[in-house]
Amino acid sequence: MATYAIGDVQGCFDELQALLERVGFNRQHDRLWFVGDLVNRGPKSLDVLRFVRDLGDRAVVVLGNHDLHLITQHEGFERKRADDTFADVLGAPDAKELVDWVRTRPMMHVEGGWAMVHAGLSPLWSIDKAVSLAKEVERALRVPDYREFLENMYGSKPDRWDESLVGWDRLRVIVNAMTRSRFCTPDGRMEFHSDGVTAPEGYLPWYETRTAPELALVFGHWSARGLRLSGRIAAIDTGCVWGRQLTALRLEDRWLAQVSSRGYQIAEGVT
C-alpha cells in the first residue's frame, strides 16, 4: 500500500489521470492525499470532483481557497471572477451533492508522521493546536446554518492569530492561514498582497517561521515558488494549470512523480 500526496489539481483532470497511471495507482490498496484546490482555472473541475469523490475513503482532501470559492459561488455569496472555470460544476445536475461533499472536507489532515494543509500554518500554533482550530472551521461549515459562516468568511483582517479572538474573526484567521497564507512574520502576522515570489520586508515564507521539531508538512497553494522538498516540508504545487507539472509524492519514501501539462492559463499569477 502506498500513499501519494498530489499537488493542486485545479480542474486538470487529464493530467491527474496521467499522473495516476504514471505512479501505478491501485485504488484497492493505495491512498491519495490531495492538498486542496481540486477545482478552478483548469477545464474539467466537474470530472475531477466526481472522480475524487467516488474514490471514497481511498482519498483524503483538504480544503483550498478555490474549493471555498466554489462553495460560496454555489451559495450565492461571492461574485463570479473572470477566470473562474467551474461553471461545469455549478450547472451539473449533481451540483448540490458535489458542493456539499466539498464543504464537508477537512481543513487539515494528520497521519503517519505527516501533516497536510492547503496553504500554511501560523508559527503560533503547534500541530495539535492547528488540528483543534481546523475542527472549529469544519464544524462551522457542517452545521445547518453554515451559510451564516460563509457570509462572514472573507476578509484579510485580523491578520494575526490571537487567543482572545472569537466569532467570525477567529474563524476567518484560521481559514486565511490554512488556505491563503504564504508569507508571515515570525510573530505570525500574515501578508496577502505580494506576488508570491519576493518576501516583503520583515516577512518570511510561513514554513521558515516554524522552528520547533514537528511532523513533516505537505502543502500546495504556492505555484510561484514551485517544488520544494526538505526533511521538514514538501511544497508540491508545481503549477499544472500554468503549463508546468502535476506532482505526486509518495509519502512512505518521498519518491516523486510528475507529468507535464499543456497549460490552461497564459500568465502565472497569485493563485
- Domains of the chain are 3-260 (3.60.21.10)
- pLDDT value of residue 61: 98
pLDDT at residue 214, as a whole number: 86
d(CA 245, CA 231): 22
Bridge-based pairing of strands 108-111 and 114-117 is antiparallel
pTM: 0.96
| Alpha carbon distance, N-terminus to C-terminus of the chain | 32
Spatial distance between the Cα atoms of 61 and 98, rounded to a whole number of angstroms: 13
Which residues, including other chains, have CB under 8 Å from residue 250's CB and lie 6 or more apart? Answer: 2, 3, 4, 23, 256, 257
| pLDDT at residue number 127 | 96
- The per-residue pLDDT for 267 is 54
The b-or-e profile of 34-58 (16+ CB within 10 A means b, else e) is bbbbbbbbbbbbbbbbbbbbeeeee
Q: What is the pLDDT of residue 29?
A: 95
CA distance 198 to 184: 12
pLDDT at 270: 45
Q: What is residue 197's DSSP assignment?
A: S
pLDDT per position as a tens digit, 67-114: 999 999 999 998 888 899 999 999 999 999 999 999 999 999 999 999
Minimal CA–CA distance to 5: which of 216, 226, 227, 250? 250
What is the distance between the alpha carbons of residues 183 and 185, in angstroms, rounded to a whole number? 7
C-alpha cell at 193: 498582497
In the chain, at which residue ranges do the beta strands (DSSP E only) sit?
3-6, 31-34, 59-61, 108-111, 114-117, 183-184, 190-191, 204-205, 216-219, 228-229, 233-235, 245-250, 255-260
Provide the residue-wise pLDDT of the chain in tens; the chain has 271 residues. 999 999 999 999 999 999 999 999 999 999 999 999 999 999 999 999 999 999 999 999 999 999 999 999 999 998 888 899 999 999 999 999 999 999 999 999 999 999 999 999 999 999 999 999 999 999 999 999 999 999 999 999 999 999 999 999 999 999 999 999 999 999 999 999 888 889 999 999 999 999 877 899 999 999 999 999 999 999 999 999 999 999 999 999 999 999 999 888 765 544 4
pLDDT at 34: 99
pLDDT of amino acid 266: 65
Please provide the DSSP assignment of 139-163 as one string: HHHHSTTHHHHHHT---S-S-S--T
Q: Please state the separation of Cα 214 from the chain's center in Å.
A: 20
